[in-house]
Structure 1
Amino acid sequence: MTNMLVYFLAFLLLVFGRCRTSFGQYSSDQCSWKGSGLTHEGHTRDVEQVYLRCSQGSLEWLYPTGAIIVNLRPNTVSPAAARLSVCVKPAPESSGTNIYLDLNGRLRPLLREHEQAEGLVRCFGILEGALFIEAIPRTDISRRVTAFQYELVSEELTGDRPSLAESCHLCNEDELLLSACTKDFVARGTVTSVHEDAKENRTSINVDIHHLYRQKTQVFVPGGPRARRWSGSITMPRKCALKVSDDDILFTGTLRFGEARMGCATRYGDFLRWYKRAQRLGTNPCHLETD
């Protein structure tokens, strides 16, 4: 019995010792992870497993060596979770690795090192695999940091399939009414200026908002050209850009990494006509305050 107790205590010391080393080398919670490849020194083929369970967060891997597998999972068991997508936005200084999607050991490129430096955003279905982040072998790993933000989104977006806004899809009546009830922001206003970004192949419009129905976070701020107004900007692909005009527009869209992105939009008069018809028929998906 005494020998068994000694062996058991030795086992506990070994386990606690390993845990202490692990916690000293890595910083992690359910949303974000920070680690160092220096812990792989002498074991450059090591692969670490990382589990993140938030709707958004970040990763920072200093001096990358070996590889890490990042498992992104929603903190819910709802069947709708399987339809979620993940968007990844690298930091401008991100380098030192190539990022792949790993599905049952099969790797598919997601973000090469040069694409990370360009700040390209990539989206993929949550069931398409985990992130496999592989360090590029170098004799000097100093000043190399792989860092990115991630967000779980409800739309079915991937790097190969464009969103509704990216394809300049003209939303029909039902899609617009649903967008007005479910999107991250819903606002009524006018386009005051347009700015094209040829490098990013997108356009940013400045808007003057005089009725703010909803915004998930504060992308439109008080202080427009007139009292009790809001102002802000909305991005979209260049080919989908709206023009400066006095037309009253209903804007709807999503927030990605703190940036408002256009979804469905239409003249407010058209929206009002569709909304009132849906009210009469009892098919409006939610109640909105209208003039």
Structure 2
Amino acid sequence: MKRKGVDEFPFCVHLVSWEKENVSSEALEAARIACNKYMVKSAGKDAFHLRIRVHPFHVLRINKMLSCAGADRLQTGMRGAFGKALGTCARVAIGQVLLSVRCKDNHGVHAQEALRRAKFKFPGRQKIIVSRKWGFTKFNRAEYTKLRAMKRIVPDGVNAKFDLNRYSRSWGAGGAFGGNRGLRPIPPEKGIFPLDHLHECDAEKKEYLGCLKSSAHKSEQCRHLSKKYLQCRMAKNLMAKQDMAELGFSGVKELDSTEDKNTESIEH
């Protein structure tokens, strides 16, 4: 049931291709029907959400040859051999997800059995893999419950996203879609996390850059402003590290004080 929210279906299981091959649109439809029929019978039509993860965009062609009597006069062999469209298929790689099902934890066994039955509609080898993620989201289950309780993420249909309004104050007067777009927060699973405090050094940065553009860019005043700006960044960087330690993110790397970065890395 694709209208169910992200919080209702925490369990997720995938059918993963273990071959590099073409999967026809007919095979995908047959697998969808087999999986859907078993889940409706065992769990109920509103108790799951099935998603086809590959799309048959590749067009197959055929160069038809006549096989009736006297057809050799009409055939031209390989002359003009570009065929007509016969069907479509999806080109899949090893480790690519074919089908995904999200449901409640008590229906997880039924979802795995439904995908096992769908396997017989495909050529080659497939594997059924239970996901560590919460539903179709990109968050681990423990991480999702933690961030959800802290209101760091908000539901977004069948998915979840970071609450960007928490950081709109660091984006300038334009809010979420204006101001300084360079300070847009980036989720932690991509390796970096927003530093809410770095925008507080904007005044020192502006003074320092203004001095550099002036004719006295090599003066003692510019060196003093440079030192003042770097000290501010180091202090705010320490505050950001303490904030992330409170959130439970460990292994924060030191921010290079010689570069003007708005984000810093996190090791998971």
Band the TM-score falls in, shorter-chain normalisation? under 0.3
Higher RCO, Cα 8 Å, sep 6+: 2
Greater strand share, 1 or 2? Answer: 1
Larger radius of gyration: 2
Query: What TM-score do you get using the length of structure 1 for normalisation?
Result: 0.23
Greater helix share, 1 or 2? Answer: 2
